């Protein structure tokens, strides 16, 4: 391990001062971050997972995420949206702005066709800028070929199948890493077994796939020419081929069929730049599966962080398409009889009461790790990552309004409905919003509420931790028909006394 590069003291001091002024931090937080910046190795300061950092620094997930959001805002770190392939650990794209993130893409490493969502394969990381400290990972051409593939192109924290470590998986599949200089050629002898053999050059986004089947053959030879940013294979026919392998759909751009046995692969680099090659052997039983990761900051979690919404109002989803969300909990509220409220106390007094009620709801949502997506008249739509937080917020909202009503002459009756499920995150009126049938159902569930109760769907009731919250209150189950849904919806009414 090499010694850390020196920092630019002037820039570091300035950025740390701006971060210190952003909010009141607990006393050890900023000194620990400064120590990390000064002493960590280059890889640790490249694409930092704030949740992992928090676990080592003794910070909660929420505090660690907030720290790095503020640090990025003052330029102490750079925030990147990483688009991950669902079938290999490849970082398919890295973007500074959310509107550059597209959910449909083809992975250059494995040629898988991807359609990913904010929940699991859109990762947010933070990297120390070079103006503060030199980092070799800002210069991928200077990395060894192994680091170029395994540390620059692969996302951190992926979990290989069958309890293997990443190192064990690479050792089991890898046959050769090699750099071939401009206008040089090399030959490699392999004993290729049945399955799939691949030759990669990610510096030019190239993948040549050999499907290895049949009986062992006489020694074979394949010539590969890297020319014009393409693989040319003069002595063997290649073709594009679509395949379904394991859980994934793959559209291989360049495929050849060979037999098992001894095989010489000759690679001639005819370009004026370096070619960076990795040769991999997959056994016949190897089936691609959806990659799992250690816990990281997902795009969904970041969009549900109030600090991000406040500091990065211009970070919006591409207007031409939305980003899928597989699982989120939606909470709708409304005031019962708000029209008569305006008639009874007058517009000005009614508006004042409604504003006070919004302040109460906002405090509750923020305290329960949610965000208010939008207000619609006297109603709100709030979103939560976890259903137990949404239900806890709903119960607390009603309780707080009951207390508030003791101080006013005209009580407010709050209706709360909660449902969970899929949606599409979109940009609308310069803010991020959520649309979909499950969002509509949440609104319909709220419409069933009589007042001073919380209505939740069966899906929310079955979510972790919710039953324990509901057990402290009187609850009744029902099946109701709601507008726009073909079948009856199972709901639970939670009475708040």
Taking the chain (497 residues) in runs of 10, the rounded mean pLDDT of each run is 86 98 95 97 98 96 96 98 96 94 94 94 97 97 97 95 91 96 97 96 96 91 96 96 94 96 97 97 90 96 94 89 94 80 70 88 94 92 97 96 87 92 92 93 91 92 95 89 80 89
Do 185 and 103 belong to one domain?
no
In a domain, 156, yes or no: no
Do 257 and 359 belong to one domain?
no
Do 234 and 331 belong to one domain?
no
Please tell me the predicted confidence (pLDDT) of residue 217: 79
Please tell me the predicted confidence (pLDDT) of residue 167: 93
Do 241 and 289 belong to one domain?
yes
Cβ neighbours, 10 Å, residue 57: 17
Do 208 and 92 belong to one domain?
no
In a domain, 3, yes or no: no
Do 78 and 196 belong to one domain?
no
β partners of residue 455 = 417, 493
Please tell me the predicted confidence (pLDDT) of residue 337: 65
Do 346 and 402 belong to one domain?
yes
Report strand pairing: 474-480 vs 275-282. Answer: unpaired
Contact 396, 368 (CB under 8 A): yes
Do 392 and 475 belong to one domain?
yes
Please tell me the predicted confidence (pLDDT) of residue 428: 87
Domain boundary among 240, 261, 293: 293
pLDDT digits (tens, 9 = 90+) for 327-341: 999 999 998 866 666
Please tell me the predicted confidence (pLDDT) of residue 17: 98
Do 403 and 486 belong to one domain?
yes
**Residues 15-40 as b or e (16 or more Cβ within 10 Å = b):** bbeebeebeebeeebbebbbebbeeb
Closest CA to 480 of 470, 492, 462, 471: 492
Q: Considering its fold, how many domains does the chain have in total? A: 3
Beta strands in 98-217 (DSSP E): 104-106, 113-115, 122-127, 158-159, 174-180, 185-192, 195-201, 206-212
Determine the Cα angle at 359 with ends 29 and 425, to 5°.
Answer: 75
> What values do phi and psi take at 409, rounded to 5?
-80, -25
β partners of residue 268 = 185, 225
As a whole number of angstroms, the distance between CA 219 and CA 193 comes to 13
Report the CATH number at residue 348: 3.30.70.1230
As a whole number of angstroms, the distance between CA 254 and CA 241 comes to 7
Please tell me the predicted confidence (pLDDT) of residue 486: 72
The mean pLDDT value of the chain amounts to: 93
Do 213 and 267 belong to one domain?
yes
Contact 478, 489 (CB under 8 A): no
- Looking at residue 153, what DSSP letter applies? I
Q: How many residues does the chain have?
A: 497
In a domain, 310, yes or no: no
In a domain, 147, yes or no: no
Owner of token pair 């959910």: 103
Map residue 216 onto helix, strand or coil: coil
In a domain, 57, yes or no: yes
Domain boundary among 260, 293, 326: 293
Give the structural domain span for 422. Answer: 316-495
As a whole number of angstroms, the distance between CA 132 and CA 135 comes to 9
In a domain, 149, yes or no: no
Do 205 and 325 belong to one domain?
no
Please tell me the predicted confidence (pLDDT) of residue 496: 87
In a domain, 61, yes or no: yes
Closest CA to 109 of 235, 326, 297, 282: 282
Tokens of 421: 């499920």
Q: Alpha-carbon Rg of the chain, whole angstroms? A: 28
Do 326 and 288 belong to one domain?
no
Map residue 9 onto helix, strand or coil: helix
As a whole number of angstroms, the distance between CA 354 and CA 371 comes to 19
How would you class 353 by CB atoms within 10 Å of its CB: exposed for 0-12, middle for 13-18, buried for 19 or more?
buried
**pTM (predicted TM-score):** 0.91
In a domain, 471, yes or no: yes
């Amino acid at each position: 391990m090499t010694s850390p590069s020196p920092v630019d003291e002037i820039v570091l001091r300035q950025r740390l001062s701006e971060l210190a002024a952003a909010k009141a931090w607990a006393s050890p937080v900023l000194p620990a971050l400064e120590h990390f910046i000064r002493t960590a190795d280059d890889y640790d300061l490249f694409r930092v997972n704030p949740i992992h950092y928090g676990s080592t620094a003794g910070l909660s997930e929420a505090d660690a995420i907030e720290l790095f959001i503020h640090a990025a805002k003052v330029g102490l770190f750079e925030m990147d949206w990483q688009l991950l392939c669902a079938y290999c650990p490849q970082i398919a794209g890295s973007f500074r702005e959310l509107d550059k993130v597209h959910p449909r893409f083809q992975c250059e490493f494995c040629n898988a066709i991807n359609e990913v969502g904010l929940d699991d394969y859109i990762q947010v990381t933070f990297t120390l800028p070079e103006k503060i400290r030199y980092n070799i990972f800002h210069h991928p051409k200077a990395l060894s070929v192994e680091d170029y593939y395994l540390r620059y192109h692969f996302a951190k924290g992926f979990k290989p199948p069958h309890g293997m470590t990443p190192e064990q998986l690479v050792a089991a599949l890898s046959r050769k890493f090699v750099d071939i200089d401009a206008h040089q050629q090399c030959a490699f002898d392999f004993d290729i077994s049945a399955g799939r053999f691949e030759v990669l050059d990610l510096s030019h986004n190239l993948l040549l796939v050999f499907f290895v089947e049949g009986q062992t053959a006489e020694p074979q030879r394949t010539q590969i020419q890297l020319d014009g940013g393409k693989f040319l294979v003069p002595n063997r026919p290649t073709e594009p081929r679509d395949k379904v392998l394991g859980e994934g759909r793959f559209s291989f751009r360049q495929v050849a069929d060979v037999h098992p046995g001894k095989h010489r692969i000759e690679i001639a680099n005819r370009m004026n730049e370096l070619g960076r090659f990795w040769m991999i052997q997959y056994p016949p039983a190897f089936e691609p599966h959806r990659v799992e990761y250690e816990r990281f900051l997902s795009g969904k979690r970041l969009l549900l962080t109030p600090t991000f919404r406040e500091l990065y109002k211009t970070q919006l989803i591409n207007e031409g398409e939305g980003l899928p969300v597989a699982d989120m909990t939606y909470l709708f509220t409304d005031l019962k009889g708000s029209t008569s409220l305006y008639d009874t106390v007058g517009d000005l007094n009614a508006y004042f009461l409604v504003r006070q009620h919004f302040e109460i709801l906002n405090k509750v949502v923020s305290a329960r790790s949610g965000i208010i997506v939008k207000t619609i008249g006297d109603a709100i739509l709030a979103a939560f990552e976890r259903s137990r937080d949404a239900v806890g917020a709903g119960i607390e909202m009603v309780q707080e309004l009951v207390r508030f009503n003791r101080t006013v002459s005209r009580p407010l009756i709050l209706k709360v409905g909660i449902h969970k499920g899929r949606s599409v995150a979109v940009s609308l009126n310069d803010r991020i919003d959520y649309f979909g049938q499950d969002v509509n159902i949440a609104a319909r569930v709220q419409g069933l509420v009589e007042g001073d109760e919380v209505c939740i769907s069966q899906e929310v009731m079955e979510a972790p931790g919710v039953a324990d919250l509901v057990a402290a209150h009187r609850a009744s189950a029902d099946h109701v028909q709601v507008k726009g849904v073909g079948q009856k919806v199972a709901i639970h009414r939670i009475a708040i006394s």
